[in-house]
Chains A and B, each alone.
Chain A
Amino acid sequence: MNFPVLSLIVFTPLVAAVLLLLIPADRKNEARATALAAAVFALLLSIWVYAQYALNGYTDYQFVEKVSWLKVGQLAFDYHVGVDGMSAPLVLLTGIVMFTGVLISWGREDLHAPTGIQDRPREFFAFLFLLAGGVFGVFVSLDLFLLFFFYEIAVFPMYLLIVIWGWVKTREYAAMKLTLYLFIGSVVALVGALAMYWTAGQQTGVFTFDMLELEKAGFSTAFQNAWFLPVFFGFAVLGGIWPFHNWSPDGHVAAPTAVSMFHAGVLMKLGAFAALRVGIMLLPEGAKTWSWLIMLFAAIAVVYGAYIAFVQPDLKYMIGFSSVSHMGLVMFGLSTLNRDGLTGAGLQMFSHGVMTALFFAVTGMIYDRSHTRQIPELGGMMKPLPWAGIGFIIGGLVSMGMPGFSGFVAEFPIFMGVWQVAPLAAIIASISIVITAAYIMRNIRQVFFGEMPAQFEGHISPLTALDKVAIVTLCLLMIALGLFPGLMAPMVQTGVDNILRLLGGA
């Protein structure tokens, strides 16, 4: 067996979480430094995985580790991990969001308006890393049980993170809503997964949760049609699919900055990814039967999300609904079940992850300093916070799908994919591009260039160096991907080839 790099990635945050708890509570900077070290380590590993996957020539599942976890009678759980072209970018994304999330949570406490996380940072980072470990785990899981295991680990720390460090006014409501939505979704999907397990076992005589085996199980079309919806939508709830998106903006708004970054940047991808991996890849016939429904919901989400974002006066709600819209595009791409659409969906997951992480980071920086997120109450932030402004603008350009940035590179193939299936849907969904441009531009203007309200004069403290590092990292990624789509598109295509093989098409 090769060097178990994926396990190392998954367990780095988990171990770091435990180590963090051993640091005395008043040693805040030591806790932060530990967190940063772990995040950097995980990031480097995920970069290595990404690069190595490309160097190995984009083939199939790599870095595979397989250890029997439990094998008794008819129950067989394996610890089976590996990455393909779909998941490798997402692992990288998680590493990046984790790294930048730690950076922007560091903050400053020696001011009357503290920034970042100052209340119990030790526990904060511990929970955040638990979440990160779960997310890494889902992306690399090749075993259905393992996937659920990590999926739940990724979900429950959200509750605590939001409820403890969140926005005082809505955190209790939002955290509970979020947890219940996601929990319901995941258990519904779990039942579907168990059904697959037994049916495959009865058909082939081999009881296994191994997804690579389940792919070959040959479920009957009736079975697939019946179980596709619960499995797909169970996961897609986390992907913010309309009409189950309701938890998401509330959660965004209530969550502290780094958690919003994780939530929108990575967790929502988790839902889409799991829906793809378990729903579409294991039940391809079901996917074909129901793809029209997903496409319909996705198209609604794309336009509806953009429109709601357009009318939001709260900056975080605005980004939250824009995430619904953009994740709708991911679902849109998935629903096409063809090469272009799926490639676009894979790229969009990465692009949107980076973009929305940046958005929330910047919003958090502004909120920490101004204590308001109401767009009309803000103004003139470009002067005191130029880095934040530039970051927000670049994020905005990505968001509206401006060529030259990653958003375009991702959205274009999605629309191409939809063209091949349902031209009308493409035309309708494209309206969102204009709406997005309108609200992004309007908000940039108001928040960063408008007249600065008098009460902020002199009260906006500059960003820390770490904040700037985070912004620059995220911006550069989006520009690099936008200018050189060849950095990621071939990789995603490898994953897509795999999916297409299961779908039985070219």
Chain B
Amino acid sequence: MNFINDNLLLVILFFPALAALVLLFLPADENKLFRWFALGASLVPFILSIGLWIGFDPNAAGYQFEANYPWYEALHSSLHLGVDGLSLTMVMLTTFLTPLAILASFSIKERVKAYMMLFLFLEMGMLGVFMSIDLLIFFVFWEIGLVPMYFLINQWGSANRNYASLKFMIYTMGGSLGLLLAIQMLGVLFQTYDLQEITANWSTYTSANGIMGIPVGTVKTIAFWAFVIAFAVKVPLWPFHTWLPDAHTEAPTAGSMILAGVLLKLGAYGFLRLVLPLYPDEAKYFAGALAFLATAAIVFGAFGSFGQTDFKRLVAYSSVNHMGFVVLGIAAAASAIGTPDATIALNGAILQMFNHGLSAAGMFFLVGVIYERTHTRNLEEFGGLFPLVPVYGGILIFTSMASLGLPGLNGFISEFLVVRGSLPLLPVYTAVSMLGLLMTGAYILKGIKKVLHGPLNEHWAHGEHKLTEINTREILIMAPLMVLILVIGIWPAWILDVINKAVMMLF
């Protein structure tokens, strides 16, 4: 046990990968075994991360559970792990959503072993990004996560999966090119990749000679945008968002859950963990531009969502819309770091990340549930299904309301905080984004109306196409999500406390 205690982060990080390797050597064609094994394996990091949460001291500054393992000494890079309040929240979200997503994948019938292995590797990749405090390691995990996701979309996705998966891959890799180059430049400059050292040196770096003959300011600006673009693609911000609807729509249900629930957070996390600390001045200078992009994402995401006839695409665009708020909060905070308003905005942004993880995962799952039964996602082909599937309908409405930002549910808290924090700092953008908030209501209600209300599509009422109610396993997946949604909505203090202290210490 000592080993686990001393290397808790390491164990959490690599347990899924080890489990995947074990899975490889399990006998073939035992689909049931694979499923339960994978579920069990994904529960272990969850339980351990609860331990992490308990053992975490929100009042202590800096990283906790730090551990440093040698990795690439030639480049002065090491496997340096640690968590603070910000990353802990994200780790929790990841380890919490992964078992649910695996449970949701029980309906996968083909090549279960490969599927489960990829999923576990994906979990490792995401956890690695949140835990690493070494720039190179950060990038390593950042990219590693792409591969399993690519194959999950490409192999288990729906009709247009080839196009979507390649687009996902190319967008993300292309986006991270600049990040890669900028990280290299930092590594060359400081002969280390340790995030703390680089942060300390780089944010205040000046040199009369410039860097390689180019004035420091210019280099910093270029590097700033390299970072921003990499993360903006992932978030995604308008206009880099076009991969997202495709990827979401084509991905298998559990893939969409993780994609929306966690992968998008990687981008926002990048803003918080790297962009703000490394480039405080540039971030402040360009806060307006960022806010513009965020507002565009909010508004266009909402309008885009409203225009969809495909249920899954509708939910996908809603992610663009919701993640826009995260970036808006970040941009607002960047413009006036250290002020109370900024802290509120950041609190809201981080909580919004967590909340969107819950509600988006839930929404995608619910879309998956109905798609599995009807094999269509076209909103026009649904209608009036409430009487047929009352339980499902109830859950759908509940989750939608969370997404819509109904007071009493989690979405309200975080969006309120973001808006409250941003309004004094960036009044115009915040005001415009209110338009997006309005449209949020419109498209959510439109979705609910098209699916549950209106005239009943008789096709689903009788015979072989008769719609069946949501089953126990599916309810089991939704239950924890709904509980959390409700809990945060009513009593957000337990998580806001951790976030707030982290924000206070970080910025």
Contacts and interface: CB of A to CB of B under 8 A. Distances in A.
A438 B184 contact: no
Contacts of A490: 73-74
B141 A403 contact: yes
B144 A404 contact: yes
Given A397-B147, A404-B144, A486-B71, A441 B136 contact: no
Contacts of A409: 72
Interface residues of A, number: 35
Given A426-B181, A434-B170, A485 B147 contact: no
A412 B165 CA distance: 25
Given A430-B180, A486-B71, A419 B170 contact: no
Interface in A415-467: 415-416, 419-420, 423, 426-427, 430-431, 433-434, 437-438, 441-442, 445, 449
A402 B188 contact: no
B74 A415 contact: no
A437 B181 contact: no
B74 A403 contact: no
A404 B140 contact: yes
B434 interface: no
Nearest to B137: A403
A413 B75 contact: yes
A444 to B, nearest CB: 9
Main secondary structure of the interface of B (DSSP, over half): helix
Contacts of A441: 150, 165-166, 169
B431 interface: no
Interface string B55-83: 00000000000000011111100000000
Given A420-B188, A434-B173, A445-B162, A493 B74 contact: yes
Contacts of A400: 173
Contacts of A413: 74-75
A423 B155 CA distance: 38
Contacts of A419: 181, 184-185, 188
A413 B193 CA distance: 13
A426 to B, nearest CB: 6
Main secondary structure of the interface of A (DSSP, over half): helix
B143 interface: yes
B476 interface: no
Contact of B147 (A343, A402, A427, A445): A402
Contacts of B184: 412, 415-416, 419, 426
A316 B69 CA distance: 41
Contacts of B181: 415, 419, 426-427, 430
A352 B71 CA distance: 21
A392 interface: no
Contacts of B51: none
B217 interface: no
A190 interface: no
A489 interface: yes
B398 interface: no
Contacts of A485: 71-72, 74-75
A486 B75 CA distance: 10
Nearest to A430: B177
A408 interface: yes
A194 B71 CA distance: 44
A78 interface: no
A490 B147 CA distance: 29
Contacts of A449: 154-155
Contacts of A437: 169-170, 173
A449 B173 CA distance: 22
A441 B177 CA distance: 17
B390 interface: no
B167 to A, nearest CB: 10
A340 interface: yes
A343 B144 contact: no
A433 B147 contact: no
Interface in B120-151: 136, 139-144, 146-147, 150
Contacts of B142: 403
A162 B344 CA distance: 70
A408 B184 CA distance: 12
Nearest to A413: B75
B150, B184, B185, B188 — most chain A CB neighbours (10 Å)? B184
B173 A403 contact: no
Given A402-B144, A434-B177, A445-B165, 15 more contacts: A340-B188, A402-B147, A415-B180, A415-B181, A415-B184, A423-B185, A423-B212, A430-B181, A434-B173, A438-B170, A441-B166, A445-B162, A486-B72, A489-B72, A493-B74
8 contacts: A403-B140, A416-B184, A430-B177, A434-B174, A438-B170, A445-B166, A485-B71, A489-B72
